[in-house]
Amino acid sequence: MTPKKQRMTVTVDPELVEAANRAVDDGEAESLSGWVSAALVDRVAKDRKLADLREAVAAYEAEFGEITPEELAAQDRNDRKGAMIVRGRRQGETQRSRRTPKAASA
């Protein structure tokens, strides 16, 4: 048996209420309460992941020392180098430099 749900009163920004009502109207949520419950479930999951990440970083730093700003910057540079550009261009890159030369006609 599902635990009994609890009723609560909250104050919410009007645009969020509108978004929730649109979700209900579009069939993306059964009810306003269901939409809010799903949002709370998502928030709880996000908060748990962040807590786990904090614990992992703390454990790493306890073993290897504090992660320095220089190490973070170096990792950021490496991540950017290895990233695949889906839209847009790398910083400093022009549209012309992205084009590959056309094969010469035979």
Kindly report, residue by residue over 51-78, the tens digit of the pLDDT: 999 999 999 999 999 999 999 999 999 9
Token digits of residue 94: 């022009």
Distances (CA, A) of 98 to 10, 68, 85, 92: 51, 34, 11, 11
Token digits of residue 62: 């306890």
Q: Is 49 a member of any domain?
A: yes
Q: Is 1 a member of any domain?
A: no
Q: Is 91 a member of any domain?
A: no
Q: Is 77 a member of any domain?
A: yes
Provide the 8-state DSSP code for 26. Answer: T
Range of the domain at 50: 14-83
Q: Is 41 a member of any domain?
A: yes
Total structural domains within the chain: 1
The pLDDT assigned to 106 comes to: 47
Q: Which residues contact 38 (CB under 8 A, 6 or more apart)?
A: 29
Question: Token match 């709370």: residue?
Answer: 40
Q: Is 60 a member of any domain?
A: yes
Query: Does pTM top 0.75 for this prediction?
Result: no
The pLDDT assigned to 88 comes to: 72
Q: Is 90 a member of any domain?
A: no
Please, which pLDDT band fits residue 49 given cuts at 50, 70 and 90?
very high
The one-letter amino acid code at 7 reads R
Q: Is 89 a member of any domain?
A: no
